[in-house]
Amino acid sequence: MVISVTAPKKGLGQTVTAINLGAIIAKSVNKKLLFVDINQYCNDIEQYLSNTHITKGLDDFISLYRSGMLSEESFKLCVKEVNGNIDMMGTYHCFQIKNSEIEELAQHMRNSYDIAVVDTLGGCNMLSEDFFEKSDYVVVVINQLKNIMPLILKNQLYRGYGEKIIFVVNKYLETKDEQRINYNLEHIKRDLTKLGFKQPVFTLDFDINLMNECNEQTLLNYVMGYHSGIYLEQLSEIATHLLKGSDLEIDSQYEVKQNGILRRLISCMTMIPLLKQFKS
């Protein structure tokens, strides 16, 4: 399964969402996942996931392809291991990837990995659209501001991708300082429907714990560890939706661990009133 992650513009949390969504899918199905970064102007995947300055990526892939030396075995030389579940392929700095090479890359990603997540360029560009064509799903990260809708309409973004598209409202808030946010999920769905999109819309709530884990090389701590919270539940909901169209199944051990975390969380919440009563 190949998933492209994009956004109508920069600064909406596209890369962090791509990493966390990919990580929870890899964790839940216990399969190998590949992150591919195609944004040569901002190599965030490397910044977040690489523990050294030595990188492997699209330059290696293109060089092997153009020299006629690319094979399933040599493709492994183009990726760098992040952990037992995740590999990464850094963006290109020397070459510009061509459409025929994107086709070849997509084929190798499918042959070598159960899941691949492509962090595309935000906005309107042909390179990202070439990857959309090769993907099973296109996850569009948006925010809660009304001005994002005219931007989608103006650039005719994401037209023609049908059931591939899902929207994710990042850092979603119902209230702020005890005041209700006027532009909520109901309005967002309404406006997307007016633009012709009938695809599912998901939310990812603002989570201060995620921000505390969102430093270089530590971002995966939040998803791959034993944290719990609404953000992870929402990620799991998106992952479940994406997995419906694949032959991948949720690993039973993952469900056991998640249920265990939930039971401990409920137990702690039950103990809080008792502790307060004891202190008084």
**What does the pLDDT read at residue 101?**
95
23-48: average pLDDT: 91
Mean per-residue pLDDT over the chain, rounded: 85
Q: Are 87 and 33 in contact (CB under 8 A)?
A: yes
Q: Is the pLDDT of residue 267 over 70?
A: no
Which one is predicted more confidently, 278 or 12?
12
CA distances in angstroms from 134 to 39, 140, 206, listed in the order given: 17, 16, 31
Torsion of CA 61, 64, 68, 70, to 10 degrees: -60
> Following DSSP, what letter does each residue of 142-194 receive, concatenated?
E-S-TTHHHHHHHTTTTTT-GGGEEEEEEEE-SEETTEE-SS-HHHHHHHHHH
265-272: average pLDDT: 40
216-251 pLDDT, tens digit per residue, is 657 787 888 777 789 999 999 999 999 997 888 887
124-160 pLDDT, tens digit per residue, is 889 999 999 999 999 999 999 989 998 888 778 888 8
